[in-house]
Amino acid sequence: MHSIWGNIFKRDDGPLGTRDLLKQIPIFSTLTNRELAAVERLLYRREYGGGDTIFRQGEPGVGMYIVAEGVVEIIYEPTGQILATLQKGEFFGEIALLNETPRSATARARTACILWGIFQPDLLSLLERNPSLGVKLLLALSQITGQRLVQADLQMHKLHEEAVRLEAALEQQDGEQADGT
C-alpha cells in the first residue's frame, strides 16, 4: 500500500540525487524544480576509472562536468602541476559552455569517478526552446565568469605590484653594488 501511494505522489527527482547535486552548483542554484528537471534531461552520466583522462589540455572544450562521486585532478600539462583537486559537488570546464575554446588544463580522475556532463550544443538548444531558462543559466554563467575575471584581475594586480617591488629592489641592489665598486 505504502509503495503504491509512494509511487503516485513521488516527485520526479531525476537520476538518483542529481537534483540536490545541481542545486549545489552556483549556475543552477536559482532554478526552480521544473527548470532543474529540464536541465537534468540535458545531463550525460559518465564513468571513469582511476587514472583515466577526462579531457586533455589543448583539445576543443564542449562543456562542463560536475563531480558526483570520486576525485578529479586538474593538471597543467607542461609542468604536470596539479592546479586543483575537485570532489563531489564541485565542477570544472564551465567556460566551454560559453565558447568552444581549447581546454586550458587536463582533467584526470584520481579515483574511480561518476561525472555529470552538460554541453554547449544542448545548452544552445535549450536557450532556443526555453529562452527564459536559457537567460537564467547564461546570466549565472556570466556572473561566475565575471567573478573569475575580477579574481584574475586582482591576482594580476598583485603580481604586477610584486614585480615592480622586485624590480625596484634589484635596481637598488645594482646601485649599491655600483657604489661599492
Query: Does 60 contact other proteins by CB under 8 A?
Result: yes
**48 phi and psi, to 5 degrees?**
-130, 145
Which one of residues 13, 23, 37, 56 is an interface residue with other proteins (CB under 8 A)?
56
Question: What residues contact 21, with CB distance under 8 A and at least 6 apart?
Answer: 66, 68, 88, 89, 116
Query: Does 175 contact other proteins by CB under 8 A?
Result: no
Residues 118-157 that bind other proteins (CB under 8 A): 119-121, 125, 128-131
- Strand-strand pairing, 72-76 and 53-55: unpaired
- Strand-strand pairing, 72-76 and 106-109: antiparallel
Q: Nearer to other proteins by C-beta: 17 or 121? A: 121
Which one of residues 29, 33, 53, 87 is an interface residue with other proteins (CB under 8 A)?
53
Report in angstroms how near the CB of residue 39 gets to other proteins at its nearest.
14
* DSSP conformational letter for 101: P
Q: Nearer to other proteins by C-beta: 72 or 152? A: 72
Buried-exposed string 27-40: b where 16+ CB fall within 10 A, e elsewhere: bbeebeeebbbbbb
Binding mask 11-50 for other proteins (x = CB under 8 A): ------------------------------x--xxx-x--
